[in-house]
Structure 1
Amino acid sequence: MVGEAAPPPTTPLVPPGSSRSEKGIPLHHHPPVRAIPGATFPIPRKGSCFCKCICWTISLLVLLLIIIVASVGILYLVFKPKLPDYSVDTLSISDLRLNFDMSLYAKFDVRITANNPNKKIGIFYEKGGRLSVWYTNTRLCEGSLPQFYQGHQNKTMLNVSLTGQVQSGSTLMTALQQQQQTGRVPLDLKVHAPVSIKLGRLKLRKVSVLGECMLVVDSLASNNLVSIKASNCKFRMKL
């Protein structure tokens, strides 16, 4: 019929399980969250701070290493360091004989030239420097190097007296006499020199210069200036 009111809606305006707020806005009630047996949730790790500390430490060490390498490179470019070198000028034998106990006594006098080729580096020769003469694997004699300071581009001549005694030296003496008949006696002269480097006014820590000169001489006669027929020297630095 015309004019009759429409029937009320049968579908509820508010879903079941919901309620209205004071303003008429429906509020949804979520079911309570239930714990699931065996389920795990992420927990902040205590080791994360430790890992960060390790990363920062490694970064600082790398940075420090870069700074050190850069500083060494700059010093190298500024001072251009070179190893000192040595040459054997003369070798004389004051004494070489067998004692009554069959030990071999040797006394050599050596004059060497120490050369500092550096333009901006001075060298302090410290206490404990040694110079020795060897035949094959046997040390015949040994002496001390003097303490002194060597300036820039300086050559200094050093006279060193070497003495030594070898037990059971009869076999060694026989070998030396047989070698002497050929006119070519091989000797090995070794240098161990503890030095400190001076850069400008800065004196650095002590290092060691190690040298070895392979000599060939004509004779080992006592009270005789030996003729050096060949000499080959090599040097290196030990930190």
Structure 2
Amino acid sequence: MINRYKLISINLELLYLFLVLDPTFQIEHVLFKKPPPEFDIRLKVDNPNKHKTIFYDEDSHVTLSFKQKEIADGKFLIFDQDARNSTILPIALQGSSKLLPQEIVTSKNSTQSKIGIPLSLSLDLGLKVKIGALNVKNKRIQVSCSFMVGRLENDTHIWDQDCGMK
């Protein structure tokens, strides 16, 4: 006969097995190139799970916005991220010259270092979480990163950022 403590222990182990921590995100670098307008972003992705691998699938979309107006978009890379791993990913976002606000265009040529450009990066990602060959969970996450850059140049300085789940 299984005693009550052993049953509680088994339940806690099963709960731990299926408890999935969401990945965290941080923008490391932003580079604006033109023409055509392209934003190269380096994004740090952390998998905080102790024994779970995260597979980022092809069903993803990334958008960059300025003052709530989309200025560029692209895809998130398909990749596998091991447990307790940090990865820096390049993301190339394509824009249209017709959609770029004047503040974005002039910041590239500005000599002022403190213009202050508020941007927002939105990620809609499909994930598969696995332990070995066991598929623990499939889910979609929406991530929003609001950040401020001094100006868009080769060595863009990110002043402030806040990334979190929507």
* TM-score when normalising by structure 2: 0.79
Q: In 2, distance between residues paired with 1:110 and 1:73? A: 40
Give the letter aligned to residue 88 of structure 1. Answer: I
Structure number having the greater strand percentage: 2
Q: Which has the higher contact order (CA 8 A, sep 6+)?
A: 2
| Structure 1 residue corresponding to 2:24, chosen from 85, 92, 116 | 85
1:165 maps to what in 2? 96
> Could you say if the C-alpha distance between residues 215 and 204 of structure 1 is closer, same or farther in structure 2, counting changes exceeding 3 Å?
same
- Where do 5+ consecutive residues of structure 2 fail to align? 1-9
> Could you say if the C-alpha distance between residues 118 and 209 of structure 1 is closer, same or farther in structure 2, counting changes exceeding 3 Å?
same
C-alpha deviation, 1:79, in angstroms = 4.9
The answer to whether the 8 Å contact 2:38/2:92 transfers is yes
Q: In 2, distance between residues paired with 1:131 and 1:158? A: 13
Q: In 1, distance between residues paired with 2:115 and 2:63? A: 22
Q: In 2, distance between residues paired with 1:232 and 1:88? A: 9
Identical positions, percent: 22
The answer to whether the 8 Å contact 2:71/2:99 transfers is no
2:83 maps to what in 1? 152
C-alpha deviation, 1:234, in angstroms = 0.8
Provide, for residues 74-94 of structure 1, a one-character-per-residue CA deviation record: whole Å limited to 9, x for no partner. 643345421101111111111
The answer to whether the 8 Å contact 2:127/2:138 transfers is yes
Q: In 2, distance between residues paired with 1:88 and 1:161? A: 13
The answer to whether the 8 Å contact 2:30/2:39 transfers is yes
1:132 maps to what in 2? 63
Q: In 2, distance between residues paired with 1:228 and 1:218? A: 7
SS at match of 2:59: coil
SS at match of 2:102: helix
Q: How many residues align?
A: 153
> Could you say if the C-alpha distance between residues 151 and 174 of structure 1 is closer, same or farther in structure 2, counting changes exceeding 3 Å?
closer
Give the letter aligned to residue 92 of structure 1. Answer: L
SS at match of 2:83: coil
Structure number having the greater helix percentage: 1
1:214 maps to what in 2? 146
Q: In 2, distance between residues paired with 1:120 and 1:201? A: 12
1:109 maps to what in 2? 40
Q: CA RMSD in A?
A: 2.7
